[in-house]
Chains A and B, each alone.
Chain A
Amino acid sequence: MNAFIALVQRDLRLALRRKSEVLTALFFFVVVATLFPLGIGPEMGILRKIAPGILWVGALLASLLSLGRLFAADFQDGTLEQMALSSTPLPLLVGAKIFAHWLLSGLPLALLAPVMALQFDLEGAAVQALVLTLLVGTPLLSIIGAVGAALTLGVRGGEVLLSLLVLPLYIPALVFGAGAVEAQVSGIGYAAHLSILMAMLVLAAFFGPWVCATALRVALE
């Protein structure tokens, strides 16, 4: 467990000294979420209707932006080799990397979402649904993305391949995430959607790190 904390700390410290990478993804989210109301115009009805989808797709693309670097940096400078050779289980270390990635990309997005929701005139309960589903959904995106990043590690043109591989796998998260907000707006309540998202997260958190670790060992061969 100490190794887990040490790796999370190291990744956070690295991000602090290389702020641009984290801020780029956040700025991207803000810009995407702002362009839509500007392009569509002040039509409250339409904006309210498209808000969940747009905010979720924005969050999804923003989290994809930083995925390419998730293992690539460690792979290039040889730290990944040392991790694979350490006595700490590799899935645990992969879990730490995914957790750090979520802290740096998913969590800020979820916290920024209410501010972005203002532009779409979402009501209070819907904003609550949005934040909650993003809090549960973004770690899911990080885990699925990490599997994709591990599988495409060291492959030429890996970044493009990564998007092609990962985006279809994001669909369930998107459907239930954006669906939850829509359900809340139309008065059904979002509890069911949130439960399904949580179930997906539990499943992914259990299997994801193992799949990643296996893919990373193949990449290191």
Chain B
Amino acid sequence: MLSVSNLSCTRGERTLFSGVSFDLKPGQWLHLEGSNGSGKTSLLRIATGFTPPSHGCVSWKGQPLTQVRGAFHTDLLYLGHALALKDELSALENLQADAEIAGRAFVRTDAVASLQRLGLRARTRLPVRVLSQGQKRRVALARLMLQDAPLWVLDEPFVALDAQAQDLVAEALSAQVQRGGMVLFTSHQAIALQGRGERYRLNA
């Protein structure tokens, strides 16, 4: 369980948000909403342990994040604004490098299957450089289907995707929630997800 209590974030003189508290229990999703500049990405970076909060605390399974960093990172799948793809490598090579560097097993057939599901069948061997923005995002999102981390933290997973890919991603999120995982994500779109969950609005 990820719980965030009384979190606040200051950038310079400005307070982005304060008093943010929520719990994310297994089998739940949380859709973080807010206008541009309201601190959604900052909140995600605090929740993943990149940035220490100005105030408040984040805990994973009842323990403060700073104390269980290693265990937390094994349980976490994070997709940020930057896609973490190397332009020179192909989609498959990217997924392989990503898994092996993180110390996860890489099963080639699974990776090919997930790329196929995302409609990149003919492009698994092309360098990512030649793919379109949306296709690059699809490659990055293929990780969702390859990793069984209990907690997913996704920053704008639906941006730059066509309707079909959006459905696929929504499906993947619903599946994650249904098998008892947790999903914390930001999006400007209204996304219909199955399973229990709620929306949390950050006020600028």
Contacts and interface: CB of A to CB of B under 8 A. Distances in A.
A83 B78 CA distance: 11
A13 B48 CA distance: 30
B103 A85 contact: no
Contacts of A9: 97
Interface stretch (A36-44, A73-81, A161-169, A183-191): A73-81
B86 A78 contact: no
Interface in B53-79: 70, 73-74, 76, 78
The size class of the interface chain A forms with chain B is 20 to 34
Contacts of B101: 3, 6-7, 10, 82-83, 86, 88, 93
B88 A86 contact: no
Contacts of A86: 73, 101-103
A135 interface: no
B119 interface: no
Interface string B82-117: 111111110001000110111100000000000000
B52 interface: yes
B51 interface: yes
B103 A77 contact: no
B100 A14 contact: no
A14 B128 CA distance: 12
A132 to B, nearest CB: 33
A78 B103 contact: no
Nearest to A2: B100
Contacts of A81: 50, 78, 80, 82, 84
A87 B73 contact: yes
B44 to A, nearest CB: 11
Contact of B89 (A7, A13, A220): A13
A37 to B, nearest CB: 37
Contacts of A77: 82-87
Interface of B: 45, 48-52, 70, 73-74, 76, 78, 80-89, 93, 97-98, 100-103, 127
28 contacts: A2-B100, A2-B103, A6-B100, A7-B100, A9-B97, A10-B97, A10-B101, A13-B88, A13-B93, A14-B88, A77-B85, A77-B87, A78-B80, A78-B83, A81-B50, A81-B78, A81-B80, A81-B84, A83-B101, A83-B102, A85-B48, A86-B103, A87-B70, A87-B74, A87-B102, A88-B102, A93-B101, A221-B50
What 6 A-B pairs come out closest when comparing CB atoms?
A: A78-B82, A6-B100, A86-B102, A78-B84, A17-B88, A87-B74
